[in-house]
Amino acid sequence: AQKVTQAQTEISVVEKEDVTLDCVYETRDTTYYLFWYKQPPSGELVFLIRRNSFDEQNEISGRYSWNFQKSTSSFNFTITASQVVDSAVYFCALRRAIQGAQKLVFGQGTRLTINP
């Protein structure tokens, strides 16, 4: 079975601080995909990044960076110099890499509040 754990239920920081959101996953598959989504108050889940299990290269996109470590089954997300607009619920998700697999298994989410 697949499982995603986001141990941090809520995080609150002051603007401009760096913050890391943790994600740990479980799967017996050797090939899989990991995702991060952002859910602002409007409700829509906004796609942030997709990572293949065979590509452990870290990625940076502006103030966002992702650290994927297959050895520890973790896929952590860091926001540098946080801004109030980053306030949202963030979800980590896992999907099997097989034909026809669209189902995402989500973590419980981390509510991030950036205070001015």
Q: Which is nearer to another protein, 79 or 109 (CB)?
A: 109
Contact predicate 106/23, CB 8 Å: no
Choose, by CB under 8 A, the member of 11, 13, 24, 97 that binds another protein.
97
Assess 70 for contact with another protein (CB under 8 A).
Answer: no
Structural Rg of the chain based on CA atoms: 14
Q: Which is nearer to another protein, 23 or 109 (CB)?
A: 109
- Count of residues touching another protein (by CB under 8 A): 28
Q: Give the helix ranges, DSSP H, for the chain.
A: none
Assess 98 for contact with another protein (CB under 8 A).
Answer: yes
Task: Count Cα neighbours of 54 within 13 Å in the Cβ-side half-sphere.
Answer: 5
Contact predicate 7/110, CB 8 Å: no
Contacts with another protein by CB under 8 A lie at: 32-33, 35, 37, 42-47, 50, 52, 91, 95-109
